[in-house]
Amino acid sequence: MNDIFNFSNNILNWFHIYGRKKLPWVKNKNIYKIWISEIMLQQTQVKVVIPYFKKFIHKFPNIKKLSKSSLDEVLYIWSGLGFYKRAKNIYETSQIIKKKYNYQFPKNFNELINFPGIGKSTAGAILSLTYDYSFPILDGNVKRILKRFYNYKLKKYQLEKKLWKKINFLIPIHNCGKFNQALMDLGTLICKIKNPICIQCPLKIKCLFYKKKYYLKKINLKKNKKKNIKKCWFILLKYKNFFYLKQQKQNVWKNLYYFPMFFKKKKAIIWIQKNKLKFKKIKHTKKFLHHFNHYSFFIHLISVSINIKKKIKETKNIWFNIFKPPEIGIPSPVKKIFSSILEKNKKK
Q: Which residues are catalytic?
A: 38
Query: Which of 220-241 are b and which e, b meaning 16 or more Cβ less than 10 Å from the residue's Cβ?
Result: eeeeeeeeeeeebbbbbbbbee
218 — phi, psi (to 5°)?
-75, 120
| Contacting residues for 194 by C-beta, under 8 A, at least 6 apart | 219, 221
Q: How far apart are CA 140 and CA 128, in angstroms?
A: 17
Closest by Cα among 2, 86, 82 to 37: 86
Q: How far apart are CA 90 and CA 194, in angstroms?
A: 31
Q: How far apart are CA 74 and CA 194, in angstroms?
A: 34
Query: Which of 19-42 are b and which e, b meaning 16 or more Cβ less than 10 Å from the residue's Cβ?
Result: beeebebbeeebbbbbbbbbbbbb
Instruction: Give, rounded to a whole angstrom, the gap between the first and last alpha carbons of the chain.
Output: 71
Q: How far apart are CA 134 and CA 278, in angstroms?
A: 65
DSSP 94: H
DSSP element (H, E) containing 238: strand 228-239
287 in Cβ contact with 299 (< 8 Å): yes
139 in Cβ contact with 97 (< 8 Å): no
DSSP 308: S
Ramachandran quadrant class, 83 (left: phi over 0; alpha: psi -120 to 50; beta: rest): left
